[in-house]
Amino acid sequence: MSPGERDGRDRARSERAQKERAQKERANEYDASCARCGGPVPAGAGVLRHGARAWEVYHPEHAPEPGPPPPGDHSGWHRRRLLALDIGSTGYRPAVDRIRSAALRGSDGTSYDWIVDPGSDIQSSDAGSDLRRGIRSDLRGGIGSDVPGRIGSDVPDSGPTAARDSGSPVPPTVTPPHRALDELATLVAAHLAAKELLVVWFAPHVLTTLHAELLRHGLAPLTERLPSGVAPVCDPLVLDRHVDRYRPGSRSLRSVAEWYGVPHARPGDPGSDAGAALLLAGTLAARHPALARLSRPALHTEQVLWYAEQTSRHMDAPAWPFAPVEPLPWEPLPED
């Protein structure tokens, strides 16, 4: 498919989505006053929006842009211990690309950052600019513009300061891959073994790359560390698409964090991305009681189904939450 055809298809899909949303938009059943101007709104002539505690009626021209539903105070998995994982990588070929940095952020204050030395052969390939090119070509060939972007221009320059989250003035030291990967896998496996949710934005990229990297360095992958399965995983991208299927616009972590008002200081930085994913998981459950009341195993299982629906038109969509791929030798990203 040519870029033009894809643009046309995306535009048609976006217009269709807006139309469906307009049709679904609820009108006021009774005469009311506009919440913006106070003027009368005859029954059926206004539109409804979620206010802080109740539905509010507006003249159509006075209605604010729709936003996410307000958070409730219900219980659910979002009140448990959550741990979020993110990586920075040389690209989006999970069997080939290497982890350059990684971060864990926990709802209990857990915070780890690693800068990984992927080896001189890989560094000498100028992976930073390859990364930018690779993301664009990968997404073009991948499951389309509605796939998260690891965001092209948002990707930070590589280097020891890039993966630093706020809090410590000391940049993390560069760690050999086998040590960083083993530390990371040990912490993640312990969290999952306790049956607590691992939050991963776009899990297929992060967990598949991690699987290949662990094998590449002679370390046990998560599948071996967790005989009962790599679960439960919580992917806020899958959840957001499920609860707000027709929202137009980008589903990059940056855009989704902005939509929900979640702080996200440095898009592309694994620490900042993991922190935003952690807060997004919590706010999605707080705003959608039907999500929050799923058990952790059910949340995992439902996401498998939701992700399959969300990617049903993409033959080459990666498996959720990951695919146990064999590592392949390094090769530089193809030029555009």
Which positions lie near Zn ion, rule CB under 5 A? 34, 36-37, 39, 59, 62
Query: Is the CB of 64 or the CB of 229 nearer to Zn ion?
Result: 64
Tokens standing for 281?
């998981």
Q: Could you tell me which residues come within 8 angstroms of residue 99 by beta carbon, excluding any fewer than 6 positions away?
A: 87, 88, 89, 116, 118, 177, 180, 181, 209, 210, 213
Residue with smaller CB distance to Zn ion, 4 or 38: 38
* Segment holding 83, helix H or strand E: strand 83-89
Measured from the CB atom, is 32 or 181 closer to Zn ion? 32
Q: Between residues 40 and 176, which has the closer beta carbon with respect to Zn ion?
A: 40
Nearer to Zn ion, 57 or 163 (CB): 57
Residue owning tokens 């972590």: 253
CB of residue 63 vs Zn ion: minimum separation in angstroms?
Answer: 9
Whole-number minimum distance, CB 59 to Zn ion, in Å?
3
Give the whole-angstrom CA distance, residue 10 versus residue 299.
29
Q: How many helices (H) and strands (E) does the chain have?
A: 11, 10
Whether the CB-CB separation of 57 and 248 falls below 8 Å is answered with no
Residues 6+ apart with CB under 8 A from 54: none
**Least Å from the CB of residue 260 to Zn ion:** 27
d(CA 249, CA 244): 11
Nearer Cβ to Zn ion, position 45 or 317? Answer: 45
As measured in angstroms, the least distance from the Cβ of 334 to Zn ion is 55
Q: How far is the CB of 61 from Zn ion (least distance, A)?
A: 7
Cα–Cα distance list, 244 to 65, 145, 203, 260 (Å): 14, 17, 19, 12
Closest CB to Zn ion among residues 59, 136: 59
- Residue 121: Cβ-neighbour burial (10 angstroms; 0-12, 13-18, 19+): exposed
b/e string for 136-161 if b means 16 or more Cβ within 10 A? Answer: eebbeebbbbbbbbbbeebbbebeee
Assigned token pair, 249: 């616009």
Both tokens of 308, joined, read 């399959």
Q: Which is nearer to Zn ion, 41 or 96 (CB)?
A: 41
Report the nearest approach of Zn ion to the CB of residue 316 (Å).
48
Q: How far is the CB of 261 from Zn ion (least distance, A)?
A: 25
Q: Which two tokens stand for residue 28?
A: 């006021």
CB of 19 to Zn ion, least distance (A): 24
**Smallest distance from Zn ion to CB 62, Å:** 4
Query: Given the complex with Zn ion, which of 61 and 108 has the nearer CB atom?
Result: 61
For residues 193 and 156, give the distance between their C-alpha atoms in angstroms, rounded to a whole number. Answer: 33
The CB-nearest residue to Zn ion is: 34
Its sign, for the CA torsion 72, 74, 79, 83, is negative
